[in-house]
Amino acid sequence: MITVGDDMAFSRSLNRMMGTMADGQKTDFWFRWTACFQKIGGRWLIVHDHTSVPTDFGTGTAVLDLAP
């Protein structure tokens, strides 16, 4: 999803990260990404970004086994 104004824009997305760690462990999880863009000197630049995963507030840990 993208929201655009005259000189500010925000994008939000759901992304999947898959791969193999240096120790051979496989990883596969989904995370959210939000980026804030600002038009500076006629160019759109990322001025802020944020990534996050759901939290289990009971344990205070990240929940990495959810999928859309």
Would you list the domain boundaries of the chain? 2-18+29-62
HSE at residue 18, side-chain half, CA atoms within 13 A, is 2
pLDDT at 51: 96
C-beta of residue 8 within 8 angstroms of C-beta of residue 21? no
pLDDT digits (tens, 9 = 90+) for 16-58: 999 999 999 999 999 999 999 999 999 999 999 999 999 999 9
Give the closest residue to 35 by CA, choosing from 11, 8, 60.
Answer: 11
pTM: 0.74
